[in-house]
Copies of this chain bind each other. A is one copy, B any other.
Amino acid sequence: MDKSVFRTLSYGMYVLATRNGDKYSGCIVNTVFQLTSEPPLIGVSVSKDNYTHDLIMKERVFTASVISENTPVAVINTFGFRTGRKADKFENVTYKILPSNLPYITEKTCGWLECEVLETVDLPTHTVFISKVLDSGVLDLETPMTYAYYHHVIKGNAPKNAPTHLKPDVPDPTRPANENEKPVDEVKPKEKRTAYVCSVCGHIYDGDVPFEELPKDWICPTCGEGKENFVLKEI
């Protein structure tokens, strides 16, 4: 099996969000897909490790906000790599609340879907939520972000518990559109260097203080995980 073919499947990027008493929680997913047109049904695969997964199992309702190419990367990092068990992910993002007390993200997102779970498919590591779209809205006139754009242009990675996570040594047979357009002689090999890289979210440490001298309770500014998750590697 050549797993690199999985890198050629196309996805969008979405913030899945639900309520938790008087608070909200959410996570980034890339596997939101329409299943039928009439009635409008969607499916979404969510890791069982995920706090939002447990909340959706309980609440049976959620929203999906469609991330655009202009949605700040900080939104993706907050919802993609921090856990809602520890942090209030909604603290630093702008959002609105539906009459059903469900939040959707308004940071240059294309639109939102309000969904009710009809059926769950229990898989080894994930649950697929087969859901009815109850309501939906369009927000900004923006180009939706594809996972390919996130991976190639923003240089982002899928977290370890994403359905589409692949180990970094699985090669990527696709080419980003912006590299395709460059004449061959303009593509120079990058100079390699070593740096401390967060093994949780891929954050590359480039602070002024040498990494070794950072305090023990220093945390990754992207995902909030501890210093012990950083490894020295070639980038």
Nearest-neighbour CB distance to chain B for A132, whole angstroms, equals 10
Most buried by B among A2, A3, A35, A112: A35
- How far apart sit A45 and B1, CA to CA, in the bound complex (Å)? 23
A130 at the interface (CB under 8 A from B): yes
A34 at the interface (CB under 8 A from B): yes
Contacting residues of chain A (95-152) with chain B, CB-CB under 8 angstroms: 110-113, 119, 121, 123-126, 128, 130, 133-138, 141-148
A154: Cβ under 8 A from any B Cβ = no
Count copies of this chain in the complex.
2
Q: Is the CB of A5 within 8 A of B45?
A: no
0/1 string, A172-205, CB within 8 A of B gives 1 = 0111010010000000000000000000000000
A173 CB contacts on chain B under 8 angstroms: 110-111, 138, 141
CA distance A141 to B4 in the complex (A): 11
- Tell me which of B2, B43, B126, B177 contacts A138 (CB under 8 A): B2
**Set B36, B112, B128, B177: member contacting A130, Cβ < 8 A:** B128
Residue of B nearest to A4 (CB): B138
> A33 to chain B: which residues have CB within 8 Å?
9, 11, 31, 33, 43, 45, 163
